Amino acid sequence: MRERIRCTLGLLLLAAAGCSPGSGSGDGEAVVADGGGTAAVGGAAMQEGAIPPGAEDAVSRLRASPRHGEWAVIPAGAGDSVRAWVVYPERSDPAPVVLVVHEIYGLTHWVRAVADQLAADGFIAIAPDLLTGADVPADPSAEPDPEAAVRAIRELDPADVHRRLSAAAAWGTALPAATDRYGIIGFCWGGNVAFEHAVRAPELDASVVYYGPSPDPSSLASVRAPVLGLYAGDDARVNATVPPVQSAMRELGKVYEVRTYDGAGHGFLRQQNGRDGANRAASKAAWPETVRWLRTYLEGGG
């Protein structure tokens, strides 16, 4: 039986996010970046042109969100469980599930704000805390201490990571408000995990990789999900891993599309105020591609 942990005033992390008890909604109106018209997909009305906030605006976006967000503890097999932040879209029909894999810094306010934007775009967003049980202390802002999180991430067993992700996907797609299709999106370390999950999870329906190193080309024969890679132009360390994987995926007849944004730096979606506007421009171009990809393969029968 799964346990849901509701927002309470006693939890520092939720207080920092401005989550109201009971409803799971924030106070006030939603703050939408680059607003435009609305469009309906399935039973959901989404704000066209909206993108996730940069890190500096994450807490205010969470406070302003009208969507229902809550903590859940998800059984992950072998006596294990994983804590996750879950956000529901405002739509009248079942929604596909998208797992959100955090960066090497752990489950930050920014990652939860990305999940909120995915819910605004019509998906049930589940952001697992893959450092659950690692005893990473919180910093003064109630986020995982960055140095401790980095150390703990490097100690994770990949098999445990993907077992937890598969458990979160199974839990999510069993929700009454969900369809049976799920995708994954990840950032930096999480981007690598999102690609690796396509290698390890044949049931995955779509993957989106933000500036994460690519897996070993020799491991790709098992990939079934279409993969979208979104990369910064000024990120040679990561980008050097892309061409061998492009060649291997092409030879195997797999779907792998790549977008590279000139002038942008690593982590551009989180650091939107960097690189003299290039990171912001990359974010505004990449997020619609993300949503298009997920809608195509999770809702459009692609």
List pLDDT tens digits, range 242-299.
999 999 999 999 999 999 999 999 999 999 999 999 999 999 999 999 999 999 999 9
Q: How confident is the model at residue 15 (pLDDT cuts 50, 70, 90)?
A: very low
Cα dihedral value 107, 108, 114, 117, nearest 10: 110
Cβ atoms within 10 A of the Cβ of 57, count?
Answer: 18
Cβ atoms within 10 A of the Cβ of 197, count?
Answer: 28
Q: What is this structure's pTM?
A: 0.86
Q: How confident is the model at residue 47 (pLDDT cuts 50, 70, 90)?
A: low
Q: How confident is the model at residue 78 (pLDDT cuts 50, 70, 90)?
A: confident
pLDDT at 221 over 50: yes
Q: Which residues of 155-185 are buried (b: 16+ CB within 10 A; e: fewer)?
A: eeeeebbbbbbbbbbbbbbebeebbebbbbb
Among 3.40.50.1820, 3.40.190.10, 3.40.50.720, 3.40.47.10, what is the CATH number of 70-298? Answer: 3.40.50.1820
Residues 6+ away with beta carbon under 8 Å from 151: none
Beta pairing class for 38-41 and 68-77:
unpaired
pLDDT at 212 over 80: yes
Beta pairing class for 38-41 and 44-47:
antiparallel
Q: How far is CA 197 from CA 15, 108, 141, 274, in A?
A: 32, 21, 31, 30
Q: How confident is the model at residue 48 (pLDDT cuts 50, 70, 90)?
A: low
Q: How confident is the model at residue 300 (pLDDT cuts 50, 70, 90)?
A: confident
Q: Where are the alpha helices (DSSP H) in 104-225?
A: 109-120, 146-154, 158-173, 189-200
* pLDDT attached to residue 24: 36
Dmax over Cα atoms in the chain, in whole Å? Answer: 54
List pLDDT tens digits, range 133-171.
999 999 999 999 999 999 999 999 999 999 999 999 999
Higher pLDDT residue, 49 or 59?
A: 59
Domain boundaries, the chain: 70-298
Q: How confident is the model at residue 20 (pLDDT cuts 50, 70, 90)?
A: very low
Q: How confident is the model at residue 17 (pLDDT cuts 50, 70, 90)?
A: very low
Higher pLDDT residue, 160 or 27?
A: 160
Q: What is the mean pLDDT of residues 202-222?
A: 98
CB 294 within 8 A of CB 181: no
List pLDDT tens digits, range 238-252.
999 999 999 999 999
3-state secondary structure of 292: helix
